[in-house]
Amino acid sequence: MVDQKTTAGTRVPAGQGGVPSLRDRLTRRKPVEKLVAETQAAEGAGLRRHMGFWQLSMIGIGATLGTGIFVVLGEAVPVAGPAVIIAFVLAGITALFSALAYAEMAGMIPASGSAYSYAYATMGEFMAWICGWCLMLTYGVSVAAVGVGWGQYIDELLHLTTGLSMPAELLAGPMEGGLINLPAAIVVLLSMFALLTGVRESSRVNAVMVAIKIAILAMFVLIAVTAVQDGNFAPFMPMGMAGVSAAGATLFFSYIGFDSASTASEEAKNPQRDLPRAIMFSMILVTALYCLVAFTAVGALNWTDFADGETSLAGILTNVTGTPVWAVIFAAGAVLALASVVLVVLYSQTRILFAMSRDGLIPKAFSKVDAKGTPRANTVITSVVIAVLAALIPLGPLADATAIGTLFAFALVNVAVMVLRKRRPDLERAFRMPGAPVTPVLGVLACAYLMVSMDLSVWVAFVAWLVVGLAVYFAYSMRRSALEAEGTVEAGV
């Protein structure tokens, strides 16, 4: 039996005849120091550092504040009744635990791979691949789902301003009796072109869109609160706690995106300082807005009126004011708001793929950048695939599939915090998750609770996705891993 030296300078047993065993290959890890060194080495030759605290915060808010409140709220109210407010809190607490974990990890590992990179440093290559594969589902399907919601508001804005509606065949894919969701595909492709102009330019566009969406949600709260009636909150929990849990699992989709700031690590000026602050700031602001909007929405309109799943926030404004003017303003703002979500989440997806490509787990084309520091081929390929998905698949299945993949990835980040606290207590932490190890354990349990609250059909789809991921890993990724090429058995941390 021969020992092989790891990149961290320690020795671990190799397989028979000096060949790494399957277990060694699955558990090989990248040290935190190696991950940090790679991001520093790439500076000037890859992604460029130009983002400060506010730009990172705008990425987190831009990716999070979107379809969850503009569209999914109308689908969650019939499930939970007025207790949808509690469902938002339940989903928010789950997200908060993970946000704290992300803040600690992002301050130590400023890599664009986000949760994928954190898993690589703590649990090994196989779990990193599973995490990255789940993030592909999370970000890719999330973009498609938001694109579907964008199409709904485009049609509503058209109807409010002209009295006309888009042909039904162009607003839904074959699964919903249409031909293609054309607006959903268009917004993804428009975001692709924005990203291809450069990250600096697209981040400025996103900042403007974020300001607009915050303004229109504040407008909604100020108008809808004047119509809040106590009677609309009774009965408060008509579907019981089971309804709240089911709605919470669906509404977790509303919080997907706060971690997008961590995917911009390699384009941040001072990631160790600014990333934890940006993650927590965006999480707190978004949660406050969600709770206010949910409270005023169900207070201004009886929950039974949401039963058809078609009631929108713009429609509530029309009911409250008796005039479509405010609804038109809101719908127009929602169109811009949802476009910003597509832009930022699509950006995040390309950065996850960039990190995985640099590690050799997916083709190298995804980590090649142009003169502007933009991964052009990555952006084009990813955008086209997602545009097709958005054009053909309805919102409901997309949102649920996204949520379960995200919950799994978030659980792994909480585990990563516990692993590094034990293995590397010496590492400098710009932010420390308070209450550890209790809080990361609660984070894992909260994610698991929402996952088991999901329908069996969602689990079937998720397991099928994982099976495909396993096939890809063993047939392609494991053999082409950068650590495989280096002859690394297990990179200790």
- For residue range 422-459, what is the model confidence (pLDDT) as tens digits? 888 888 887 888 888 899 999 999 889 888 888 888 88
Q: Select the more confidently predicted residue: 383 or 259.
A: 383
Residues 415, 417, 418, 424: what is their CA dihedral angle, to the nearest 10 degrees?
130
pLDDT at 396 (0 to 100): 62
Contacts of 230 (CB under 8 A, 6+ apart): none
353 is a domain residue: yes
Spatial separation of the C-alpha atoms in residues 460 and 465, rounded to whole Å: 9
293 is a domain residue: yes
Supply the range of the domain harboring residue 167.
Answer: 48-111+134-473
pLDDT at 192 (0 to 100): 92
291 is a domain residue: yes
| Amino acid in the structure at residue 65 | L
Contact indicator for 71, 315 with CB cutoff of 8 Å = no
Contact indicator for 99, 309 with CB cutoff of 8 Å = no
Spatial separation of the C-alpha atoms in residues 65 and 253, rounded to whole Å: 10
The H-assigned helical ranges of 373-455 are: 376-392, 395-423, 438-452
User: For the ranges 19-28, 320-329, 428-437, 454-463, which has the lowest average pLDDT?
Assistant: 19-28
- For residue range 71-109, what is the model confidence (pLDDT) as tens digits? 678 778 888 889 999 998 888 888 888 888 988 888 788
Contact indicator for 397, 143 with CB cutoff of 8 Å = no
125 is a domain residue: no
- Rounded to the nearest integer, the mean pLDDT of the chain is 82
C-alpha R_g of the chain: 22
Supply the CATH number for residue 174's domain.
1.20.1740.10
pLDDT exceeds 90 at position 333: no
69 is a domain residue: yes
Spatial separation of the C-alpha atoms in residues 317 and 388, rounded to whole Å: 33
pLDDT exceeds 50 at position 8: no
pLDDT at 130 (0 to 100): 93
27 is a domain residue: no
| pTM of the predicted model as reported, rounded to 2 decimal places | 0.80
322 is a domain residue: yes
13 is a domain residue: no
pLDDT at 414 (0 to 100): 93
Q: How many domains does the structure of the chain reveal?
A: 1
Spatial separation of the C-alpha atoms in residues 61 and 116, rounded to whole Å: 21
CA dihedral over 260, 261, 265, 267, signed as positive or negative = positive
Contacts of 453 (CB under 8 A, 6+ apart): 245, 246, 248, 249
